[in-house]
Structure 1
Amino acid sequence: MSDLFAADPPQGTAPDEPREDAPLADRLRPRSLSEVIGQEHLTGPEGPIGRMVAAGKLSSMILWGPPGTGKTSTARLLADAVGMRFESVSAVFSGVADLKKAFAAADRAAEAGQRTLLFVDEIHRFNRAQQDGFLPFVERGTVTLVGATTENPSFELNAALLSRAQVLILHRLDADALEKLLARAEELEGPLPLTDDARGALIASADGDGRFLLNQAETLYSARITEPLDPAGLGQFLQRRVAVYDKNREGHYNLISALHKSVRGSDPQAALYYLARMLVAGEDPLFVLRRLVQMAVEDIGLADPQALHQCLAAKDAYEFLGSPEGELAIAQACIYLATAPKSVGAYKAQKAAWKSAKETGSLMPPQNILNAPTKLMKNVGYGKGYQYDPDTEDGFSGANYWPEGMDPQTYYVPVERGFEREIRKRLDYWDKLRRERQG
């Protein structure tokens, strides 16, 4: 499956030239890493992929990004760029038997002096035991693992696997990248039957997904439309709402920025106005809901923990009711966010904690809080001295939970607003007890 496409006409002939009747997205896939668009922070000369290719040596990696941003295409081109054999499996369709075959083939290739890049699509769908199965083959160099996932690797992949692979983040394609895809399609198939406004609306509707954009373009070509469609006609033809913005999507970005800043500035009247502007123009309601969820966790956080629940409930209500009735739920969530107390305490805490995690490597937690499921682990001290907090005085032991060699840190500092005011009281109280009980 190809999921990123050439920015310019391809040079030369790829070894796996697509058939003439192949889908448009497949026919427009890039033929070299230099033709991959939208991910220059990775594939450029100063990017991690660019540097590895220049050195002629790849390390195992996890490509994390939204659909249609180039994970599969990048993996295929990586193998070609450094002269490696390419082997591909999908966690959706493959099982243990398929993995054994792939590893056996890689072993045979290694005996013949050929290195193997094993691409695992949707790697997060493999369970923990299956993920562990990759480790010995990665460690002894039988394969260089390149996994692709749309899910956060921190939550979905084993720590042991992550410690052996570099996580590289692919970005959603911006408007310029999507415009290049359409231009490349038009070089192959001819002009799209769209007005300038409809063209901008089509790009906006893709929401950063290059494969989706080209699939929509192919639908338009297949229909052999004789007169250019305007945004309303495009929406009717594709059976989905498309936003009526200027062709470079400036209106799209201006309005979402205005909505976000109005909510952040606690002005529900202005927030409702910009929300209305977007939805009346035909913006995808799910895009707006995603941004509202972002506002709930970024600008409000624990100052009002219900803010996130309101947004997720609005998403469920919209998907259940559809338009226009479901848009009332979106408006309700917008008003709730705009009138909620604001705090970036959780946002700053997350950034600081992530920074510490990267800097401290793999420090072990103190032994008293390690699980001890076996007798041997108990004998060597795992879990020794652990105090069960709910059964102690005040429900709080005051024990030390930080790794040896690392001083306790303060990441989360609640503000004196909303529910965080109560959280601050709790933290101050526990700090007092902790000082007393730790002497």
Structure 2
Amino acid sequence: MLDIKWIRENPKALVDALVKRSWSSDEAQATVDDLLLKDEQRRAHLGELQVRQERRNAASKEIGNAMRGGDSVLAEQLKLEVADIKSFIQNGEARERELDKALEDALAVIPNVPFDDVPVGADENDNVEVRKVGAIKPRPNWVKEHFEIGEALGLMDFERAAKLSGSRFTVLKGKLARLERAIGQFMLDLHTTEHGYQEVIPPLLVRDEVLFGTNQLPKFEEDLFFVPHGDGRLGLIPTAEVPLTNLVREEILAQEKLPLRMTALTPCFRSEAGSAGRDTRGMLRQHQFYKVELVSITDADSSIAEHERMTQCAEEVLKRLELPFRTVTLCTGDMGFGARKTYDIEVWLPGQNAYREISSCSVCGDFQARRMDARYRVKDEKSTRFVHTLNGSGTAVGRALIAVLENYQNEDGSVTIPEVLRPYMGGAAKIEAN
């Protein structure tokens, strides 16, 4: 959530930022005008409440003076005035809550402001390549896509998954199931033993306010799954970013304890409401999938450097797996709602003859911290500041499995297991059809 004080002082900057994010100039200007109006109404009301409260305090003293002076008529007049003021204040406090909520609701759907160095563009075609790692081999005519490989091995079953749960689910069996588990364990071990992230096993079901904290709610409610719980509901996490980041909600951290770096391997659940017709075959876009998430909580001065570090940690996964990839900076029109800057890491898939996203690493500034009320205190300072939050995939386990199958496939239908994964596979070097 953006700081209304900053918006008040920089309205044109917000209009420009929204236009960069592909809003029309008229829509952006109208939105900012509405925010400023709601802010002005709230501040005017608070000012009136303060004036009335000051008058009530003064009148209460005057009542005492009048009574001591024997002026009962004046005292009664003042008591009536105090009673009127008390009634106004009681009603005014309810009105204050209404105005607070109206402003908060309006701010909740405003996206974050991109950094100045983020390329301006409309969609993925305007993203900018930063680097490319690994050579792409010539594509033989026998190369297959991951679902063709998995089904031929007899270890990837979409038909039975559909009987159980419908579309966008997969059943993995035997060595493919073990390979996916191996990939996740390898990633966790790398990030915890070499990259300094603390492993966490978080809840998979969370409250609405937690989803609000990492900006899934209210804007992206249709992308979530919910289950009834008591008189309310709980949401299935779409990514471990949600519980990991919210571990610091409503807390004040000591600056010297920052950065906090956390990682988790969890199932993730997404309705994919906006992706009808996209990637309907195979495992690329699923309702349920595994992902290793990276989350960092930093102070204001460290977040940009931490963003570069996190991206390198995610890239290292693909380097160890010896998978070709490229890293791109997302343009303003393709960037996520809560991000100020995002790097996407795209792995090469020979079966598709294309790069596909396997990780997004984003720096959010204090955008999420304001929604969570997560702060830190600088040593010897009384005031607090909002933390900065970062998140990234380290990486998507299912997509890494896809990349391994397609890049390590052999003409006879078998799949060579990458060297780094063999200790997790009981020393096996290859997966062959049963």
Shorter-chain TM band: under 0.3
| Structure showing greater Rg | 2
TM-score normalised according to structure 2 size: 0.21
Higher helix proportion: 1
Higher relative contact order (CA 8 A, sep 6+): 2
Higher strand proportion: 2
TM-score normalised according to structure 1 size: 0.21
